[in-house]
Amino acid sequence: MEREDFALDGLLRELARSPEADDAFVRRVLSRAARRPWRRALSLIAAMGFFAALGFYLSPPPTARLGFTRQACLVPDAKTVRVISREGDRHLLLGEVSVDAQARVPAGSPILLQAVGADGMAIWTDRDEIRLRPREVRSPSLGAIVTLEKKSARAVSYGREVKPILDRYCAGCHAESDLLATAKPFDARRSALVTENHGLVPTADRRQLALWVDLGATRP
């Protein structure tokens, strides 16, 4: 029995011993006591609704598992596989994993696979996007399972990460439009923008250009 119930019980006992007790006051006290169970029921329903909503927002998004057996057969020189997600016109890098691994990827999202060579550039890009159902397992392998989350997907911004490199090393001799015309989307290995720049472009900047091209060479 709660503290309020003890107090109410004592009050009622005291009133019962007093014949001169006010009947209206007793009725008010009893009516309040009768309403209390309804309040508890409403509080319980509200609490259940709150925790149900909280569970909905905190539950992890559905995932599926994806292996790369087919890509390893088609592209034996591949060292890793990029898992790429599409968001509108942009392609985002979910992650890059070993060819003998499995990836846990967001279910229902468009996924594109890209085999990558030892030099960090794409060797082959799948023409078709795939969408996996929740808990689906496709092309399983015996390798480690790597979780790739959509919230950590990476996009390469042309304005912030690519144009400054071109302005620093290429703009003195070439027009920006001419440079971009040599970029072959999803194929940095055959893009003169990456392979034929004759300036002293640092390796890190060259890899940034290559990744931008291999992710589709998208500009805003």
Is 77:91 a contact under the CB 8 Å cutoff?
no
Q: Domain map of the chain by residue range? A: 3-58, 63-152, 158-214
- Give pLDDT tens digits along the chain (220 positions): 555 555 556 555 655 555 555 566 656 655 655 555 556 656 666 656 655 544 444 455 799 999 888 777 778 889 999 999 988 888 999 999 999 899 999 999 999 999 999 999 999 999 899 999 999 998 888 788 999 998 889 999 999 999 999 999 988 888 999 999 999 999 999 999 999 876 688 999 999 999 999 999 998 6
CATH classification code of 63-152: 2.60.40
The CA distance from 175 to 198, in Å, is 15
Is 207:195 a contact under the CB 8 Å cutoff?
no
Is 164:205 a contact under the CB 8 Å cutoff?
no
